[in-house]
């Protein structure tokens, strides 16, 4: 794991690309990069929920490990132990909210598409593959494919976007702005239900996922 370095900021309040700490390397044929949002404060959980144990791993390692090996991964948040090689960066200011995290995460992205996932959604990997597959075959006017939850609500933080579309939609500055602004990107919606669409907000959520999911 690479130690975090102080990061300069752009006008948008995101980390400067030169300050990103790189461990991951993009596959030559990758057309999508994943941005994992890992900068939250875990207030409701009472501790760092992304470091909490889940089926012998951590919440963060579970979601990162579920992603296709050829997809480069950018994790936005303080560096933590992680079995997979990733690129670490930080939103500016730290704790500036998920939209600031997306703004920081897309800065180093060089692929045509970017998939966004909250780091507290440990079983979202296969859902991201579905969303990316849908975006690959979407009409040219579509800039994203967004998951909807069990209640039918769109989740802009479980989605695949054209990199150019998400960059155009980000406000300047992005800190403390609502993530739903990403829904202004012309998008399709795909239902993601069950564990793939669930996040970990409380210890009870974690216990329920551990009880009702198969680690294999």
Partners of 159 in the beta sheet? Answer: 116, 146
The answer, yes or no, to whether residue 29 has pLDDT greater than 90, is: no
Domains and CATH numbers, the chain: 17-208 (3.90.550.10)
Nearest 10 degrees: Cα torsion 66, 196, 94, 75: 20
pTM: 0.83
- Residue 56's pLDDT is 75
| Interval 102-128: pLDDT, tens | 999 999 999 999 999 998 888 889 999
- Residue 45's pLDDT is 52
| Interval 132-191: pLDDT, tens | 999 999 999 999 999 999 889 999 999 999 999 999 999 999 999 999 999 999 999 999
| Kind and range of the H or E run holding 32 | strand 32-37
Express as a percent the part of the chain with pLDDT over 70: 76
Mean pLDDT of the chain: 82
């Amino acid at each position: 794991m690479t130690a975090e370095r102080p990061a300069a900021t752009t006008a948008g309040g995101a980390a400067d690309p030169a300050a990103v700490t790189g461990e991951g390397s993009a596959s030559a044929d990758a057309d999508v990069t994943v941005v994992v949002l890992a900068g939250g404060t875990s207030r409701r959980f009472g501790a760092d929920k992304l470091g909490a144990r889940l089926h012998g791993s951590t919440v963060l390692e579970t979601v990162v490990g579920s992603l296709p090996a050829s997809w480069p991964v950018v994790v936005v948040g303080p560096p933590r132990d992680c079995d997979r090689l990733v690129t670490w960066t930080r939103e500016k200011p730290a704790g500036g909210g998920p939209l600031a995290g997306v703004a920081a995460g897309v800065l180093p992205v060089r692929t045509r598409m970017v998939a966004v996932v909250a780091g507290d959604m440990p079983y979202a990997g296969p859902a991201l593959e579905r969303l990316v597959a849908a975006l690959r075959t979407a009409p040219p006017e579509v800039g994203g494919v967004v998951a909807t939850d069990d209640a039918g609500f769109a989740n802009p933080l479980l989605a695949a976007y054209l990199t150019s579309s998400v960059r155009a939609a980000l406000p300047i500055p992005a800190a403390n702005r609502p993530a739903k602004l990403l829904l202004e990107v012309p998008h399709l919606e795909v239902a993601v239900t069950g564990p793939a669409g669930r996040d970990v907000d409380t210890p009870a959520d974690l216990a329920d996922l551990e009880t009702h999911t198969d680690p294999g």
